[in-house]
Amino acid sequence: KAGVTQTPRYLIKTRGQQVTLSCSPISGHRSVSWYQQTPGQGLQFLFEYFSETQRNKGNFPGRFSGRHFSNSRSEMNVSTLELGDSALYLCASSSGTVNEKLFFGSGTQLSVL
């Protein structure tokens, strides 16, 4: 069974641009969560989607948004990039029930210059 797949693995952008990251969950999983990992702030929850609907959202500005498709694939978009958005972005999937464990992807390393 394939794991959580995130693409691309590395990305370089400049300030002011926008970026879209992609996540393919484990087959059959209906929930996708996104996290931001930085050396200063650590791991922070961005948002969680279940069956194409955002169920929960962390404390991030509106520049951070997501989408969840009927095939359970998810995208995360960051608009008007800032230097501080440089981070490892991790995607995690689960079956969707609140007591099921999360499976994390290897992440997309975003560098903003």
Is 92 among the residues that bind other proteins (CB under 8 A)? Answer: yes
The span from the CA of 52 to the CA of 74, in Å, is: 9
The span from the CA of 59 to the CA of 44, in Å, is: 9
CB 23 within 8 A of CB 76: yes
Instruction: Supply φ then ψ for residue 21, to 5 degrees.
Output: -110, 150
Helices (H) and strands (E) in the chain, counts: 0, 11
In the shown chain, the binding pattern of residues 24 to 63 toward other proteins, with x for contact by CB under 8 A and - for none, equals -------x-x-x------xxxx--x-x----xx-x-----
Complex with other proteins: residue 40 or 62, whichever CB lies closer:
40
Applying CB under 8 A, among 104, 110, 111, 112 the residue interacting with other proteins is 104
Report the interface residues with other proteins, using CB under 8 A.
4, 31, 33, 35, 42-45, 48, 50, 55-56, 58, 90, 92, 94, 96-102, 104-107
